[in-house]
Each structure stands twice: as C-alpha cells, then as structure tokens.
Chains A and B, each alone.
Chain A
Amino acid sequence: MRFLLLFSRQGKLRLQKWFTPIPEREKKKITRDMTTMVLARKPRSCNFLHWKDLKIVYKRYASLYFCCGLDAEENELLALEMLHRYVELLDKYFGNVCELDIIFNFEKAYFILDEFLLGGEVQETSKLVVARSVEASDMLQEKQRLMEIILLFPLFFSCYHGGIHEQACILTLGEMDLHTPEGIWTITDLEVLLLYRTMEL
C-alpha cells in the first residue's frame, strides 16, 4: 500500500498515512485528487479506480470514505478486506465508531492503524491480537500516568495504602474528580484498581 486516506463527504481529511516518502506539496496534491475522484463516484459503482500508475481502492462507511493507493501487483479485493478490517478494529475500540470519534481521538485511530499495518503491509491478521495490543499499550500509558499522579500527590493517596480491601476501595470511591495541572481527570473504577495494584508492588 502506498497511502491510506480517510476523508468526509465534504472532502475534509480525517486521517492520512503515507507509506512512501513524498514531499508535502505532493501529498496535498494527491489528497486533492483522491477526494475529487472518489467524491465524484456514483453510489453503486465499482470500488476500484485507476490513477496514474496506481490502483485506487475506496469504500464508504457512513460519512467517511476510506481510500488507499496500491501498486500494480497488489490484490484489490484483499485491499477491500484490509479497509474493512481496519473499520472493524476501530469499531471494537470505540464501540460503535462514528466520524466524531475519529475526529476527537485521531491519535488513537493512528495507534490502532499502527498495530494493524506497518510499512504498508498487514502486520497482524488476527483481530483479537490487534485489539489486545492496543489495549495493552493504552494500559501501559495509563499506568505510567497514574504513577506520576501518585508521585505528585502522595498525601492524597496515602489513605488507601495499607491493605484496604479491594472491593471496599471501589465501592468507596466509585468515581471522583481529581484536579491536576493538566486539567480535571475523572478517575473510574478501573484506574482505582490499577492504582491499588500499583501501590501493592
């Protein structure tokens, strides 16, 4: 795969992944060409196009167009499957994904893509494994962040130290707001558990 683009029906770019080094101006031109070409297609047309020496495969999911550019030897039908797989992964992660999810959480969309494709090729063919890897990376990220909070606010959390029963912790806390320099964080049950476990170590 040479590139993968996601754009809305108005032609606004939501995600772009380029697998070959291309100058910025060239990228903009390709994006413009793709959006014009794909948006001009009639509803029930073939999903394949020809553009210069590339095969373009596109598919519309709700209000987003997923468009990728392939080399001559690549299998177009398989590319359709790849696009579908990516949508399924997004759906599983965000839970009934819609365009707004991808707009407001674009970096997560990239992270998921980076667990599915590498250098333009599929790196993992199992949905489950990809989903697990993304989850684990997110967990690692949260864990690290929580460690920092603990370090920053030792007093606040010291009352939970000392072996209070897990269940009690969850029941007691439920959900609470924590004011930090980065903004207001709402800690949920999961994080509390994690917090507890981290503290136990």
Chain B
Amino acid sequence: MSPSVRLQEMIRVIRGARTQGEERGVIQRECAAIRAQFRQADNGTRSHNLAKLLYVHMLGYPAHFGQMECVRLIASPRYNEKRVGYLGAMMLLDEKQDASLLITNSIKNDLSHSSQYVQSLALCTLGCMGSAEMCRDLAPEIDRLLRASNSYIKKKAALCAVHIVRKVPELGELFTPASRSLLSEKNHGVLHGAVVLITELCERNPETLEQFRKAVPELVQIMKGLVMSGYSPEHNVAGISDPFLQVRILRLLRILGRNNETASDAVNDLLAQVATNTDSSKTAGSAVLYETVLTVMDIKSESGLRVLAVNILGRFLLNNDRNIRYISMTSLQKIVQTDHNAVQRHRGTIVDCLKDQDASVKRRALELSLALVSAVNIRSLMKELLLFLSSCPPELRAHTTSGIFNAAERYAPSQRWHIDTILHVLTTAGGDVRDETVPNLIQLITTATELHCYTVHKLYRALIADISVQSLVQVACWCIGEYGDLLLRGECEETEPVQVAEDDVLDALETVLQSHMSSPATRGFALTATMKLSTRITHNVDRIRSIVSIYGSCIDVELQQRAVEYNALFKKYDHMRAAVLERMPVIDKSSPGHTNGESAGGSIKEMEPTKRTQEVVLPQEPANQVCDLLDLLGGSGEPPQPSPALSTTMLGPVSSTAGGDLLDLLGGLDVTPVPPSVIVYEKNGVTLKLQTDRQTDTGMTITLTATNSTDREITSLTLQAAVPKSVQLQMKAPSGDVIPAHGLGQVTQTVLLNNPNKVSLKMRVRVCYTSQDFVCQDTVQIDSFPSPAW
C-alpha cells in the first residue's frame, strides 16, 4: 500500500534529472505546485505535499514556506497528518522561528490525547526542538506524564524532561521527585530515561547531587542485576545485557562518586565485578569496560582497582581493533599525569602505535608519547620520535617538532645531544618548526662553549648539503659568522673536521645570499655572517668588502640598510670594526626582556630583522625614553656611535618599557631605590605626588601618583596639565579614575615632557575629582622638579 505514490514519483523524477540545472527546474515546478496546494482548502493531500517539501528541503533547497503548513497539519485531527506535521516541525522549525510558538498549544493538547502515539509525537517534537518558553509552559504536563502513564510514555517524558532541564535549568527541581521514583521501574526504557534524567539533574545542581547520592545502593543493585543476570533475549547485545543502560548507570555512578568517599566505597565492589565479568570481545563489552575504567579513574577508588583499570587499558592497547586502541590511548592520556608510572609500563606498545597506518591512532600515540617523556627514557624515546618525524603526516609535523623541542629542553642529558637533536629535527622537518626555534637554538649553541667547534663543523656540512630549509640555514649562517675561525682552523675533537679554505666558506654564504630560495631574513643572516667573517679571516677581506658594497643597492630595504651600515663600518669606522664584530658573549636566557612577545633570541639584535628595524627606528622615536638607551648601549655597530667599550656589554632587549631592562644591563645592581617624590597637592584627603623617572637635557618623564586617605573612595579623578609654549607635553592614560579609601590604593599617570629648547620647565596641574558627592577642582603650579632616581 503506497498512498504516497506522488511523493515517490517526484523523488524518481528528481533523481532522474541529469544535470543540476534540470534538477533545479523540476524542484521549482514542484515547489510551485506545493505552494498552490497549500493555499487551497483541505483536500486530503496536505501531508503528501509536506512530505514532498521535506524531501526537497533535505536536498538543500529553501523550504520556509512550509512552516505554516506544519503548524496547520499538527493541529489536524488526522494521525497521518499530525505525523508528517510534527516531522516537518522538527525539520523546518527551530526555536528561532516565530512559527514554533504557534505549535505550543497543539503540543499541549496532544500531550493529553487519548492515543499514546499522538502523545509520543508531541513529546518527541518537544524534546527535539522545544524552545525555552515552550519548555516553561509545558513542564508541568511533562511532570504529570512522568508519574501517571504507561511505560511507553514515561520513557519519552523522561527524555523530554532532560531536554527541558538543558534549556531551562531552574526547572530541574520540578522533576527531581518524579525521577527518584522512576528508579524503581522494571522497564529498561523507562529506567534508561530515568538514569539520563538524574545524570542531567545532578550535573547541573550540587544539591540534587547530594540527594541522589542516597540512591547509589539502588543503582548498584540494578547494575549487578544486569551484569550477573542470565541471557535476556530482548536486551542482549553480543553477550552483554543492555549495554546502553549499563554504560549510563556507570556514568551516573561516576558523577555521584566523584570527590565522595562513601559513595566511592559503595561502588568499588561493583566496578571490580563489572571489570572482571564483562566479555570484551565485541564492541558492546568494550564500551562497558571503557566506561568502567573511566569511572574507576574518576572516583576515589582503591589502588588495587586503579591498577586493574590501567591493566584493562593496557590490554586494549594490544587489541587488534583500531578503535579500541584509540580509545585506550585517549583514556591513558587522561590519567598519564596522575598515574604516570602505571602508564609508563605500556610505553613500548604506545610507541609501536606511532607506526600505525591510521592517522587518528598516530595522533593519539604522539600525544601520549610526548606526555611519557622523562629523564630516564629520553634517549630511546627521542630516537622513536625522530623516526616518527621522518614519516609522519604533514598535519602532525608542527605538533611533533614543538613536542620534541619541549621534551629536549626539559630532559636533555647533555648539550651535545640537545644540539644534535635540534639539528636532526631541522634537517628533517625544518619547515614546520616554530619561529622561536632559531633564536632558541642560537642561544643554546652559545652556552655550549666547548661545542662551538663541533657545532660549526656540523652546521657547515648541513649548509653545503642543502640550503632550502630556512631555519637551518639561518642558524648555520649565524654559526659560521660567529665561529668561522674555528671552522677554518680545520681541527675538531668531536667530529671529523672539514678542510675548507676561506673562499669555500664565503662561497657558501654567497650562495645563500643569491639563492632565490632564501627568505629576506635568511639573507640578512648571511650578510651579517659575511661581515663578521671580515675580522675572523685574513686573506679575503676585500672580497667581503665587495660583497657588502654590492648589497648597498639591493632592492630589499633591510638588506640595503645593513649593507650601507657595514660599508660605513669599513670606511669611516674601520678602527672600531674589530671591537664591534667581536665574539658574542653568552646570552642569558632568563633576563626579563626575553619574556615579551619574542622569546630568548629576540634579544640578539643582529638576529631578528624585526628587532633591528625597531632599533633603527629608535633615533626617530620621541626624545625621552629610548634616546638614553641608545646612548648607553652604543648600538651594535649599526648606528655608528662612539662607544666601543659598551659594544661588548650584553645587548639587552630594546623595548618601550626601557627603564627596567636598562637597569638589568647595569649588571644586576640593586637598582630599585625609591625615587624621591614631591607632594604637589594635598587637600580633602587627596594627595598628589610627583616623581621624576628620567631626565635628560631635552626632556623628562614624570609620574603623578594620587592617594586618598579619606573614608570614602574618590571617583572621577582627572588630571590636566599645562606647560610653557615651547615644551611638548604627552600624558599617558591614567591607571584608573577611582582612588580607594584609606590609602589602600593609588592612581598613577605618566607624563612625558619634551623640552628641545631647554627652557626652564614649569607645569600647572589641574586636579578634578568627586569626593563624598562634592565635585572639587584645584590647580597647582609646579616650578621645580625633583631629581630623578639616577
């Protein structure tokens, strides 16, 4: 019997369309016909038309004109029309549509219909797309159905209640009493619904959670019944009696037993029983065991049980089924922090999974391996990881390299091993490493002073082999530039030395410079390295001079700038060249500037082009802060300034918060003396202090600090300042505009003054604030400024 012949006919026609255009034509025609039909009076074909529309909707075409028809069909007394109407409502209406509210009344009526199948339609639709208002309206009805109806309706009402609780959590209290009594039902469907409802209630409300802890013994009984019962044909799946219900009960027990000793104790026996009695040869059994393991690890179970759980996971790891291996690694990942040793025992199997064909399994194995790295197993595990890196799928590469670097950093047994590992990674997957790798590696190399010779030989070999991997080339160039003399000496204890002439080295660097594969940053490295070699080699200085002058007209501005400055170094400041290009001191990784944006290596001015441009821009920055910095640092040879002595000091990072870093440079002097501050205004309990942070011939930086000693806080604080005409004033944003009472806090504001004409500095400050509902405004004149801290 197929009353929907027309529907199937339409489907056939649509499927017969040979092109997208033809299909669209057919569908447009059909939709027009459907629309016409909708407008007509009831002729018994409404449900078919809506069904057709739903098919069209599934193909991806717009079907919003069917929404009102859904509403009408739901209100129809005929069951077949209601059925299609509700289906349409679930597909076309969601809570955002206005039409969804119109069906609330129909649903309400249908919930009390004499036929349970009509009731079930209403419940299903409400549980699928009910909005918050609909849920609020109909919650009492659902509660009634939870208590007094047959099992068919009860199970649906329970899940509908779950949806309501998810939408409107406050209604959870309404369902709590009914759900408690549902636990004593025998019907599996109702029981399952009840467990899901209780889980939802407990997750949202801690008090409800407390209440339901008392139900733990009952749940344990039910579970035991399921596990130990004989074969029940109705609920049996591959030898497990109702795995769906078992898993849900275990999940509920997990939530109830979390952080609670008594509940956890009550459950221990049961979990042991389930773990030992469940046959896991098929997926159903594995699902139950998996849930059991998760529960054991999450509640306060005894240690014997935990060991059992980890062993189950270990067994899963050896399973042939990929899914089960994946699941086991996911679970091991969750517990690797807490039960590290237990998981370590399975390291071998986990590492083997790295070689699995499946990408998901590989990913899990990688995560887990990285989590298992420790000082003990670092060497062997790193071998495996490096092997994995050479064959790993591209999407995992970046993750692998960063994982390897982290692990190497934390557990490197020796510096040489560390350097070797990083070099290996760079040669295999240099394109996928993080940006900080280059400076990190450079910093590492400088600290390994005994290994300079070894490193530069290795890097030279790598460079002449392949110049496509930018990170590797950058490090190699830097090393050659820095330790070129060691390379040319031709002797090395750790490795087979390379016998090179100066020309070979310069050839290599020039190849990098000219290669189209090199990025601008890399070429910058190469140029600087070439320059540095001018002090380390003896014969070919002229060659270097010519290379440098060629790049003086390079299109790349960065390179051009460098080349011009190096040229200047050759011509005008040749006496300084040796000092400027001396060997770099060891970089201290822990100095504070390293923590901003770019990491450790960012501090090395010669490395990061970005830093360099910042540094070159410095002289143009407003007078105050950084000017002084340059004076002290003397630059690194680029802006030629006559302070050769300082060029060998540690080059700290140049950041806009100059003060602190600069102080660090001065070799860890205890440089936070309290700078003298002058009180410039004191009235109504508000005190305004002024302190000078920095002072030069042409400007100063001062900080105004406002404190409040009254009982109530001061609000709407604003400071305005005026200075003589030729002085430029810049006020930074204040830290706030509310001063807490009783001197518990303060508001600060920094002011920058630029005085190029060197007139005598005076300042007038206007203070406005609201204190105890009075608005106060005062002006003070400041004629003399306190001397700065240093």
Q: Which residues of A contact B (CB under 8 A)?
A: 13-16, 19, 21-23, 28, 42, 44-50, 73, 75-78, 80-82, 84-85, 103-104, 106-107, 110-111, 114, 118-119, 121-129, 133, 136-137, 140-142, 144-145, 148, 181-188, 191
Contact = CB atoms under 8 A, between A and B. Distances in A.
24 contacts: A13-B59, A13-B60, A14-B58, A45-B322, A46-B326, A50-B363, A77-B323, A77-B327, A78-B247, A85-B237, A104-B12, A114-B87, A124-B155, A125-B188, A126-B188, A129-B189, A137-B83, A144-B79, A145-B80, A181-B43, A181-B45, A183-B3, A185-B1, A188-B1
Contacts of B87: 107, 110-111, 114
A140 B44 contact: no
Given A77-B290, A126-B188, A21 B129 contact: yes
Interface string B215-252: 00000000000000000001101000011110100010
A75 B291 contact: yes
Given A46-B326, A78-B287, A124-B189, A118 B127 contact: yes
Contacts of B160: 118-119
A136 B84 CA distance: 16
A140 B123 contact: no
Given A21-B94, A122-B192, A81 B287 contact: yes
B95 interface: yes
Contacts of A127: 234
Contact of A28 (B60, B78, B156, B244): B60
A123 B192 contact: yes
Nearest to B321: A46
B63 to A, nearest CB: 10
B96 A81 contact: no
B189 A81 contact: no
A125 B5 contact: no
B23 to A, nearest CB: 11
Interface string B60-90: 1000000000000000001110011001000
Nearest to B94: A21
Contacts of B43: 181
B235 A121 contact: no
Size bracket of the B interface: 35 or more
B297 to A, nearest CB: 13
Contacts of B12: 104
Contact of B251 (A73, A136, A141): A73
A19 B323 CA distance: 25
Contacts of B127: 118-119
A126 to B, nearest CB: 5
Q: What are the nearest 6 A-B pairs in CB distance?
A: A77-B287, A118-B159, A119-B127, A183-B5, A124-B189, A119-B163
B338 interface: no
Given A144-B78, A182-B45, A184-B5, A81 B159 contact: no
Contacts of B360: 45-46, 48-50
B162 interface: yes
A81 B244 contact: yes
Given A44-B358, A121-B159, 15 more contacts: A21-B95, A48-B360, A75-B290, A77-B324, A81-B284, A81-B287, A104-B12, A114-B87, A114-B124, A118-B127, A118-B156, A148-B78, A181-B44, A187-B1, A191-B1
B417 interface: no
A136 B155 contact: no
Contacts of A73: 251
A21 B286 CA distance: 32
B517 interface: no
Contacts of A45: 322, 357-360
Given A13-B60, A78-B287, A119-B160, A46 B361 contact: yes
Interface stretch (B48-56, B518-526, B587-595): B48-56
A22 B128 CA distance: 12
B410 interface: no
A125 B242 contact: yes
B24 interface: no
Interface in B258-310: 283-284, 286-287, 290-291
Contacts of B84: 107
B11 A104 contact: yes
Given A80-B323, A81-B237, A118-B128, A123 B155 contact: yes
A120 to B, nearest CB: 9
A114 B127 CA distance: 10
A123 B196 CA distance: 10
Contact of A118 (B80, B123, B243): B123
B193 interface: yes
B613 interface: no
A186 B80 CA distance: 18
Q: Which of A75, A110, A136, A137 has the most CB of B within 10 A?
A: A75
Interface in B533-585: none
A2 to B, nearest CB: 12
Contacts of B20: none
A122 to B, nearest CB: 5
A21 to B, nearest CB: 5
A141 B80 contact: yes
Nearest to A181: B44
A15 B59 CA distance: 10
A190 to B, nearest CB: 9
B80 A144 contact: yes
Nearest to B55: A106
Contacts of B15: 103
B128 A47 contact: no
Contacts of B163: 119
Q: Which of A122, A144, A145 has the most CB of B within 10 A?
A: A122
Given A46-B361, A121-B159, A125-B245, A13 B58 contact: yes
B115 interface: yes
A142 to B, nearest CB: 7
B100 to A, nearest CB: 10
A141 to B, nearest CB: 5
B40 to A, nearest CB: 13
Nearest to B324: A77
A71 to B, nearest CB: 11
B434 interface: no
B365 to A, nearest CB: 11
A46 B95 CA distance: 36
B8 interface: yes
A141 B117 CA distance: 10
Nearest to A78: B287
Q: Which of B48, B163, B244 has the most CB of A within 10 A?
A: B244
B124 A118 contact: yes
Contacts of B2: 185-186
B283 A81 contact: yes
A136 B287 CA distance: 32
A123 B58 contact: no
A78 B249 CA distance: 13
B235 A136 contact: no
B156 to A, nearest CB: 6
A158 to B, nearest CB: 22
A76 B1 contact: no
Contacts of A28: 60
Contacts of B358: 42, 44-46
B135 to A, nearest CB: 12
Contacts of B291: 75, 78
A133 B324 CA distance: 34
A142 B235 CA distance: 29
A123 B359 contact: no
A123 B159 contact: yes
Nearest to B233: A128
A140 B2 CA distance: 15
A44 B3 contact: no
Contacts of B324: 77
Contacts of B80: 141, 144-145
A119 B2 CA distance: 30
Nearest to A15: B58
A139 to B, nearest CB: 9
B489 interface: no
